[in-house]
C-alpha cells in the first residue's frame, strides 16, 4: 500500500436532517440495507450491516464455512452490465452519525494525546462507509449480495479543519458519483455540529471495485445515470479523475525513464552534495539547512491478527490506512521537532490484499515540500 499525505508543522455540506437516530443496538438481518427515512445510521452499526449484507461470519472460527457458503452466490452475478438496472446518485446516499458529543462513551476510541479526534480512526470510518455506499448502489433482491466490494484507492482527502473536536457530534454523508464497468467512485463528506449548524470538516473521494463472491475476478455493477447539471458535473469529474490516474500510472518511473528536466534536477542535487576538495563519490557534504533523506525515515512492523480482519477475512483496509498514516505522522513529528497537522491526503493505493497472519513492514519518509510517503 502506498500513502501520500501533506502536513503542516507546529513550528459541500449536506443539509441537516431532523430525523431520529438509529441506535447502536439496531441490527440488520437478511442483507437489509439502511433506510434513510429512519434517520442516520449509528457508526457502530456500519460494520454489522456490511456483515449481514455479505453473510460474513462474526466469529473467526466460522470464517471458512462462511466463505464456502458465498461460493454458491456465483450464479447471481450479472453476465453483462446491461442486465443490471441503472441507479441515480440519490439511490446510494447515506448518512452516518458519530455522536461524540451526545454519547461521551464513544470518545475514548477516537481521542489522541492532544485531546483531539484521531484522523486515523476517521480513515477507518470512511473506508467502511465507502463500502456500504457501494452496496447500497448495487442492492438487489437476494438476501445476500454476490458482490465482494473492496477499496481500490483513495483519490484525495481535503481537510477544511486541522483539528477535530472530541466533544461535538460528527456526521458523515456520501454517495456514488461515478461508475465504470466494475468500479465506483464515492464522494464522502464529514461535518461536525457546532451550535445548531453542521460545518464541513473534510471531503473525500474513494474508488471501490466489485469482485465475485470469492474475490477473485471483477464483477459488473449497476450503471449510474446523472440527474441534472450538478450530477453531470460530478460524473464528468469522476471520468476526468479516472483519466488522470491512468496517465499518472503510465508516466510512473516503473514504466518510463525520467524526463530530461527530472534528470537535471537529480544531477544538480548530486553536485550540491559533492565535496569540492576531493570530488569523490564517497565524500559527500550536507548543504546548509538540509537533512539527509536517510535521516528523515521511520519504519515499523505490524502483526496482522484476526481482530483486524474485514468482512472477507482479509486485513481491513481502514486499519492499514490508519497504521500508515500514524507512522507518517510520527515521521513528520520527528523530522519537524514539533506537532504536525495534516492538511490533505493526496492518494492511497492498495496494490494487493493483506492476509491474516502477515507481517506488515511499514516505511515512511519525508519528501520535498513536507510531503510524506508511507
Enumerate the domain spans of the chain: 2-225+338-353, 260-290
C-alpha cell at 234: 460530478
Distance CA(281)–CA(283), nearest Å, equals 6
Q: Which residues contact 31 (CB under 8 A, 6 or more apart)?
A: 52, 53, 54, 55, 142, 143, 144, 145
In this prediction, residue 347 has a pLDDT band, given cuts at 50, 70 and 90, of confident
Q: Which of 363, 348, 360 is nearest to 308 (CA)?
A: 360
Distance CA(242)–CA(144), nearest Å, equals 30
pLDDT value of position 35: 65
SS3 sequence of 214-264: CCCCECCCCCECCCCHHHHHHHHHHHHHHHHHHHHHHCCCCCCCCCHHHHH
Pick the CATH number of 2-225+338-353 from 3.40.1390.20, 3.20.20.80, 1.20.120.350, 3.10.129.10: 3.10.129.10
C-alpha cell at 122: 476517521
Distance CA(118)–CA(38), nearest Å, equals 29
Distance CA(137)–CA(330), nearest Å, equals 37
In this prediction, residue 9 has a pLDDT band, given cuts at 50, 70 and 90, of low
Q: What is the mean pLDDT of residues 176-192?
A: 98
- The model's pTM: 0.87
- Top mean pLDDT of 170-184, 257-271, 342-356 is at 170-184
In this prediction, residue 269 has a pLDDT band, given cuts at 50, 70 and 90, of confident
Q: What is the mean pLDDT of residues 291-300?
A: 88
Element (H, E) at 64: helix 63-70
Amino acid at each position: 500500500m502506498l500513502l501520500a499525505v501533506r502536513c503542516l508543522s507546529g513550528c459541500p455540506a449536506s443539509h441537516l436532517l431532523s430525523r431520529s437516530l438509529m441506535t447502536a443496538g439496531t441490527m440488520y438481518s437478511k442483507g437489509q440495507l439502511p433506510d434513510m427515512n429512519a434517520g442516520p445510521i449509528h457508526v457502530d452499526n456500519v460494520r454489522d450491516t456490511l456483515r449481514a449484507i455479505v453473510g460474513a461470519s462474526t466469529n473467526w472460527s466460522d470464517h471458512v464455512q462462511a466463505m464456502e457458503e458465498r461460493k454458491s452466490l456465483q450464479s447471481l452475478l450479472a453476465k453483462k452490465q446491461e442486465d443490471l438496472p441503472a441507479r441515480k446518485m440519490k439511490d446510494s446516499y447515506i448518512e452516518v452519525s458519530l455522536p461524540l458529543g451526545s454519547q461521551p462513551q464513544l470518545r475514548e476510541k477516537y481521542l489522541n494525546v492532544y485531546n483531539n479526534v484521531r484522523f486515523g480512526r476517521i480513515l477507518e470510518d470512511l473506508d467502511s462507509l465507502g463500502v456500504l455506499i457501494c452496496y447500497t448502489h448495487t442492492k438487489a433482491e437476494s438476501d445476500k449480495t454476490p458482490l465482494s466490494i473492496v477499496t481500490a484507492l483513495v483519490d484525495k482527502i481535503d481537510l477544511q479543519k486541522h483539528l477535530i473536536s472530541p466533544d461535538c457530534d460528527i456526521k458523515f454523508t456520501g454517495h456514488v458519483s461515478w461508475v465504470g464497468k466494475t468500479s465506483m467512485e464515492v464522494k464522502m463528506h464529514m461535518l461536525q455540529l457546532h451550535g445548531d449548524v453542521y460545518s464541513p470538516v473534510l471531503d473525500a473521494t474513494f474508488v471501490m471495485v466489485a469482485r465475485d463472491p470469492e474475490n477473485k475476478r471483477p464483477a459488473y455493477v449497476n450503471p449510474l445515470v446523472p440527474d441534472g447539471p450538478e450530477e453531470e458535473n460530478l460524473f464528468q469529474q469522476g471520468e476526468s479523475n479516472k483519466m488522470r490516474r491512468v496517465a499518472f500510472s503510465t508516466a510512473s518511473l516503473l514504466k518510463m525513464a525520467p524526463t530530461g528536466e527530472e534528470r537535471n534536477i537529480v544531477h544538480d542535487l548530486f553536485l550540491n552534495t559533492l565535496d569540492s576538495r576531493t570530488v569523490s563519490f564517497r565524500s559527500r557534504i550536507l548543504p546548509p539547512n538540509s537533512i539527509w533523506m536517510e535521516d528523515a525515515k521511520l519504519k515499523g512492523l505490524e502483526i496482522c491478527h484476526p481482530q483486524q480482519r474485514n468482512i472477507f477475512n482479509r486485513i481491513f483496509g481502514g486499519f492499514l490506512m490508519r497504521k500508515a498514516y500514524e507512522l507518517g505522522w510520527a515521521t513528520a513529528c520527528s523530522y519537524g521537532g514539533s506537532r504536525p497537522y495534516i492538511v490533505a491526503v493526496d492518494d492511497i493505493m492498495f496494490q494487493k490484499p493483506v492476509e491474516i497472519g502477515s507481517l506488515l513492514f511499514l516505511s515512511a519518509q519525508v519528501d520535498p515540500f513536507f510531503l510524506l510517503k508511507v
